[in-house]
Amino acid sequence: MLEVRGLAKRFALPAQKDKAGARDPRDHDGWFHAVRNVEFSCAPGEVLGLLGPNGAGKTTTLRLLSTALKADAGSAWVDGVDLLQDPLAARQRIGFLSGSTGLYGRLTARENVEYFGRLHGMSAPYLKRRCDELFELLQMQDYGNKRADQLSTGMKQKCAIARTVVHEPRLVILDEPTTGLDVMSAKILLDFIASYKALRIPLIFSTHHLHEVEKLCDRVCVINRGKTAFHGTLEQLRHLGGSADLYDAFVGVINQRETARER
């Protein structure tokens, strides 16, 4: 179970921007408050979709949970461990896919995955079995021995996914995993995400593709201007947004929060 409460992160503003006056309500007192109060939960076996406009704070939120950034406030608990207070223990429990694959170009696809498995202390027999399993699930057998710098975008992304989960993490976080993929590659990844429900592992992924949310997600969290604007089921989102169409409901929720802020 993942429980996130009161998550906050700010960044220092350039002096000239601060003097020019705030354009965004998150700009004040010389700081940009990228994440101001994000809260959500994700139960074992649930897939949570993280939604929001560009610049809403989604990637910053995921980077905080991954411990790539240090939070200014808040908590995030998984299996009794506060990810924000104990980053070393957190990294043993988390599988995090960032916006870039970050593969080593001179290593083969399999060598990339095996390298990260060894970093997690996996034994050679266990690592071999795990790689065999992942390469079959993600349909990567045909290019396992091909160098990463010779792989297509879809191949690289699937390799990055395998690297992310090779150590069987207790929480999986994916930042826009299907961006730039063709239809077939995207389907393989979406099917892989869906398989995590049977493993009873919480999985969070951010996306701008609401059909992916409709297909996979049990719950959604909508972030706008660094705050949680909505957290609940898809049906609750439709009800609050005033439309059965998920795109219209999402826009409706964002507009409601903007109107409330202006009053």
Look at residue 213 and tell me if it is in a domain.
yes
Does the CA dihedral 19-24-25-26 come out positive or negative?
Answer: negative
Look at residue 67 and tell me if it is in a domain.
yes
Domain that holds residue 52: 2-102+169-262
Domains held by the chain: number? 1
Tokens linked to 214: 């409709």
Look at residue 122 and tell me if it is in a domain.
no
Residue whose token pair is 């150590």: 167
Predicted local distance difference test score (pLDDT) of residue 20: 52
Look at residue 163 and tell me if it is in a domain.
no
Look at residue 156 and tell me if it is in a domain.
no
Look at residue 91 and tell me if it is in a domain.
yes
Look at residue 148 and tell me if it is in a domain.
no
259: left (phi over 0), alpha (psi -120 to 50) or beta: alpha
Predicted local distance difference test score (pLDDT) of residue 25: 80
Does the CA dihedral 62-34-69-78 come out positive or negative?
Answer: negative
Do the strands 31-42 and 27-28 form a parallel or antiparallel pair, or are they unpaired? antiparallel
CATH code, 189? 3.40.50.300
pLDDT tens digits for 148-172?
999 998 899 899 999 999 999 999 9
pLDDT tens digits for 80-135?
899 999 999 998 999 999 877 689 999 999 999 999 999 999 999 999 999 999 99
Look at residue 71 and tell me if it is in a domain.
yes
